[in-house]
Each structure stands twice: as structure tokens, then as C-alpha cells.
Chain A
């Protein structure tokens, strides 16, 4: 699935936000960044470095391009074979499987090769294949998961005013740079980045973005057919208060950015009715879809809004470069 990072259509703007110190690191074929405001710049840099170091570790487990990653080993399993994986890989797979169910197969890390033939033993950290030939690709969830873990590290270090993102397609805003306000973000048309579609103020919120540029296509894993009529999708959800539970609790993390990451990919292929239903049964979830032909009279590329806590209909678009 294609998620060109430069085309996520999600950006930070605003002066105070730009004051935040930026730290970056390349991994998972994208650039991860930490924006943080903290009185001690050296301390903040060390915290950011500790958080960014995680991305490399996760890539080693999750990348299908690395021969000795967990995912590569799973992808080589024959029927009846099993392999041990890291706690993080297993957690990511558990979340991915759940998102497969929640989206009725629209988000599928096996891209139609048979997620159901993979069994997860959460206690023994074992993944078993019942059929050969499954090919997992965590490209649509791994970055978000990494962002969630990075945020936990920043909080452990006491950095609260921060924003973490992977290629701006997986964004997690912690506390905002100005008291009582969130991080100022814009959603814009990936095909025309100057065209700002909406402005958001986000804190303790995760936002995922998926976008296409000309020539790209995205395949619906349920049909194998390329999807038409969608240019971009964004999904936002509030960060749970009980996030990042200690491993000793035994339950997987409430990894909200992994969730929104998966859902943006799903929102590129789900029907309007499906997205509406998903948001209706998931209070707090909010989605935007940029349609390609403006079937709705909303202009040549119309933005549709779904969900959120307010019942007052779709967001009024802020078009133009105001």
C-alpha cells in the first residue's frame, strides 16, 4: 500500500510550535521526528534520542525487508511451523488483527494473503502458520506503533509538551506548546499542498494520514481491486488516559497511533457508509476523506468529515490559503 510520506497532507504550523526543538532520525523508510519544548535543551535532546532509538529497534523486528526480522521469519513459515517474536511484534500483530476485525477486512496486513492463517500465542510470544504463503506487511501500522512507544519514552523522561511523528503520516500530539492549546495542524490536499482543507488544534490526540499522488493506486484487500475516487484520508482519536501500561499488567498497550494509522489506510478503501458506521460505534473517532471528483457538490475534491463528539454535521471547510 502506498503512503508517500511527503504527501500525507498533514503539517504543523504556527510560531510557538516552530519554537519547539526538532530531533529526527531515519528508519522504516521515513523520517521520525520529535518536537519538544523543554527548558533544558540537552536533556530534551537526550530524551528525544532515547525515543528515536526505538524506531531502529522496532524496524529490526517489523521490517519485511530485513532477512532476520520477525516479520520476515513469519513470512517464511510453512504450514504448521511457528516462530518466536518480540513482545513488540506480537503486540503489533494483535492490534493489526483487531483492526482487521474492526474494519471488516479493509485493513489487512496480509493484503489478502490470509491473515486468518496466522495464529498468535500471546503468552508464549509465538506466531504459528496454519497455511503457507501468508505475506505480512506492517507498513500501515508499524510507524504508528513506533510513535506510541516513543511518546511513552518521552513521558517517562518528563517531556510533556511534545509532538511525535513518523513522516507526518503517523502523528501523536502530547500537550500543546501554548498553555491550554493544542498543536496547530493543517490538513491539506496532497495533490496541492498549498490548499489547506482544515486546521486542527491537537493535544493528547493521534492523527493518521494516508494520501496518494498521481499514478499511485491503493488496492482494496477485500476485492483485490484498485480503489478509485479517494485522494487522502485522515483519522484522529484521543489518546487514552490509561496508555502505555507497564508490561507487567499483561495487557497490550493502548497504542492509539497504531490504531489511527491502520484506520487511515482502511478509510482509503471503506465505503462512506462503512466509515460512518465505524465512527458511530467508536465515540471519539473522527475521520476525513478527500474525495477525488466532488460527487457531493463540495468542490472538485471534496472533504467529507465523519464522527467526532459533536453532532453538528461535517466540519465547515476552510479552503484557500487563508
Chain B
């Protein structure tokens, strides 16, 4: 046995009785005992892979064959953290055929995604320059964009002009001008442009909006809204030294250095800081659920904690929006900070008959609705399955753990708590992508088309402006339109 020669390498026990476990070569011995060994699974697979590769080369993709969905050729532009999450979600959507991956970080992100896709039978080519990709890959029908915010406008517009449908991550753009041009390009080319506010396709959010608020009006008149995204302190992002991008490439693509390339969110002109990065998702929900765009914004923020040499945007932001909703005036508070993750992220809508507490997180507090003691009974809605039966107080702590957000609501009025009985069962971004590809196939309308993404960008980007000018800023209704609407 190979173990025999491993034996020499085992250091003898020291006088203290310590023994070395440094026997990496022993495992090589294991590898010669394929199926039964501890890593037998890898051996089995290696043999299968060769056969599978041969099969994949000839067989059409199972998905296209499986359903009667039309196959769509896709490219990914921006294969970073979010590009990888989206790719992963897209691999679960039937009928997609990846053709190309474009990313300037060839040795790291691009290679990783290309390799993964190849492993699953997609013949993808890697590109650094999106223009070359658009030139050389005429078969691409849809491009999914997850580059840093300051690239979105150029990338999305070029793709649409080249005849592609586009799914573009939020924030739509770091500038209003960029966002406006994206809307115009979508209109001009007639191509689809979905913005990545994925809560718009989340079944729980849709249920709350369509059923609980609009149809059943369970909250009554919503007067206040509260929400937050708090994050604990985290080290700046870095990169393995050996995969550093050459300075010439960084400069060519608008980055000062590797640190800025990895932490673009914190830099003016590249991203928008936490309020745009995190807040944009939830402020989008405020407008959606309230059925109107804000009329004013008041905000305070600052760089209170992080190093100003590497952080240009505010690490702490507190905002108050005014709304004139169809039902009357409302105020909404939002805060984001990056020094303490207390209670994570959620949105709370408070009406005269109830409170809705909702979060995208499936782990913490995904959805609860509380009936004000004076509100009419909700029995009919329970029977219809719109909301769960009241949660018995004793069971609360066990069920939800020690969630401060719930405790607050409970202490103030002890209203009945009902669960929102709809959960997201797919990975977070899958329904929004599915909606996009359904629309590409002509089978759905976009849940977050360019115009909606634009309205959201107007509301969000104004916050940084309000902080800078230290005044309450007004929105005019026409601010939310790019002009020339039908």
C-alpha cells in the first residue's frame, strides 16, 4: 500500500507526546484506492465527466428540449460578485444559452464564470471590451449587466443600440443624465430594459402590494413609513496580489487603482455610497407601495467612521421623504449606516388600521402584519389565505428569535400579529430574471421597466444632493419623467 511510504514522513512523537499530523502524501495513497476511499466521489466523477463532455457537444441543451420554451442566447457583462449571483440564478431558468462573458478582470472574475459555465456545457467566449463582444457575437439576444454603476448607461445603451434586450442592475446609473439616456435608448430602440430592483418580482412583495394593501386595504390610511439597512463594519474589499489588474487597464476603464476598482461604491463619480447601494432597493418599495413619488426630501449624512482617504461617500445617512399619496400626505424615514448591523434590513408601513413589516430576507422577519386593536376583524382575509392566523404571543419568541423590530411593534400596542403567508422559494434574483426572460419571449410585461427604474433613481440620487446642500429639496412631478411620454 502507498501508506507504507507515507509512514516515513510521519514525524515521531515528541517527548511531550505531541504527534505530527503532517501526512499530505498519504492521501495520494488514498487516491489509488478509488471508489472506496474517502474521496471516491471525485474519482467516480472524473470518469463521468469525459463522457459527459462528449455528450454535451452533440446533444441540445436539456432545458430547451424539456419544455417548449424558446432558447435565448445570453451574455453577461460584469462578472463580479453580483454577476456571479445572477449567473447562478440564471442557470436555474430553463432555456437560456450563455454565449459570452465580458469582464475586464480576466484572470479572476472572468475566468471563474467562464469556467463554471463551460463546465455546464455552455460554449462561452470571454471578452474584455464589450464592443468587441457585441461585434463578434451577433447571436446574443439579451445582455445581463452587472458592472459598477458608472458604467451602466454606456453599457446598456450600447447593447440596446446593438439590438439586445437588457437586464441592468440597479442603480440604473450614478447620474440622472445617464439614467435618462437609458430610458430614451429603450424607447428609441424598442428593446426591453429591466432594472434590477428585484423586490418588484418577489412574490411576497407582490402579494403585500396587490392583495394586502390594494385589494384588502388592511393598513387603512398609511401615514408613516420606516425602513433601514444597517450593516456591521467590514474591511474594505481587496484582491489576491497575484491577480492584480495592470494599471494601464485600470486607467483605461476609469479606476485609479486596485483599491478603487474593488471599492468603487464608496467613490464619487463611480458609485453613490450606501444610500444608493442599499437604500435604493427599499426607497423603490416606498414609492411602489405608497402609489406615488415623493414631493420633498430632507436628509442628513456624513462620513462619521470610515477613512476619508478611501471613502468619499457618506457612511451614515438619515432621510425623510414627504409624499402626497392618493389617500393623503405621508412621511417616510429611511436610514442606512455601515458601522452596526443592528436589525439588518426591513421596511415598515404604518396605517391607521395596521402595520406591515416586510423584508427581502427569508431568514429574519420576512413578513408580518399587525392589526390595530380598533380595526375591523381580519377573519375573512385569514379564510381567504391572504394572511396567517394570529400568532399566539407565547410562541413568538421561539419562532422568530429575539428580533428587536417585532418587539418594538408589539410593545407599543400589542396588536395581533399575522404572518404574510407567501415566501420566496427560489433564489433571490431568480423571479426578476425570470420575468425579464418571459418578457423577452413575449410572455410577460417587465416588472421594473426603464421608466420605473428612472423614478426610483430620481428619488434616491436626490438624497446625496440634499445632504450636500443641507436643505430640504422639492421634487416636481415632471422630475420623475424623462419627457415625451406617451
Contact B18 A254 (CB under 8 A): no
Contact partners of B425 in chain A: CB under 8 A = 67-68, 72-73, 76
Which of A49, A122, A286 makes the CB contact (< 8 A) with B235?
Answer: A49
Contact B24 A204 (CB under 8 A): yes
Contact A309 B23 (CB under 8 A): yes
Answer yes or no: B38 CB below 8 A from chain A CBs.
yes
Chain B's closest residue to A95 (CB) is B41
Contact A250 B242 (CB under 8 A): no
Answer yes or no: A84 CB below 8 A from chain B CBs.
yes
Count CB-based A-B contacts (< 8 Å): 192
Number of interface residues of B (CB under 8 A): 67
Bound together, the chains give a CA A166 to CA B174 distance in angstroms of 39
Bound together, the chains give a CA A72 to CA B366 distance in angstroms of 16
| Given A123-B120, A252-B41, A84:B91 Cβ within 8 A | yes
Contact A46 B235 (CB under 8 A): yes
Bound together, the chains give a CA A247 to CA B241 distance in angstroms of 21
Contact A238 B26 (CB under 8 A): yes
Interface residues of A in 118-170 (CB under 8 A from B): 122-125, 156-158
Interface residues of B in 14-70 (CB under 8 A from A): 16-31, 33, 36-43, 45-46, 48-49, 52-53, 56, 62
Contact partners of B246 in chain A: CB under 8 A = none
Which of the candidate stretches A108-116, A212-220, A277-285, A295-303 sits at the interface with the other chain? A277-285
Answer yes or no: A237 CB below 8 A from chain B CBs.
yes
Bound together, the chains give a CA A170 to CA B26 distance in angstroms of 21
Chain A's closest residue to B43 (CB) is A251
Number of interface residues of A (CB under 8 A): 75
| Given A97-B41, A251-B46, A49:B6 Cβ within 8 A | no
| Given A46-B237, A66-B362, A203-B21, A84:B36 Cβ within 8 A | no
Contact B26 A283 (CB under 8 A): yes
| Given A73-B425, A200-B19, A310:B10 Cβ within 8 A | yes
Contact A240 B24 (CB under 8 A): yes
Which of the candidate stretches B111-119, B135-143, B187-195 sits at the interface with the other chain? B111-119
Contact B423 A283 (CB under 8 A): no
Contact B38 A250 (CB under 8 A): no
Contact partners of A208 in chain B: CB under 8 A = none
Q: Which residues of B contact A (CB under 8 A)?
A: 1-3, 6-7, 10, 16-31, 33, 36-43, 45-46, 48-49, 52-53, 56, 62, 88, 91-92, 112, 115-116, 118-121, 234-242, 362-363, 366, 423-428
23 residue pairs from A and B, CB less than 8 Å apart? A46-B236, A49-B238, A66-B362, A68-B426, A73-B425, A102-B40, A123-B48, A123-B121, A157-B238, A182-B20, A198-B17, A200-B19, A237-B27, A246-B115, A247-B115, A251-B42, A282-B37, A283-B30, A284-B6, A309-B6, A309-B23, A310-B7, A315-B17
User: In the complex, given contacts A66-B363, A73-B425, what are 15 additional A-B residue pairs having Cβ atoms less than 8 angstroms apart?
Assistant: A76-B425, A122-B48, A123-B121, A182-B20, A205-B21, A238-B27, A240-B31, A247-B119, A248-B115, A248-B118, A248-B119, A250-B52, A252-B42, A283-B30, A310-B10
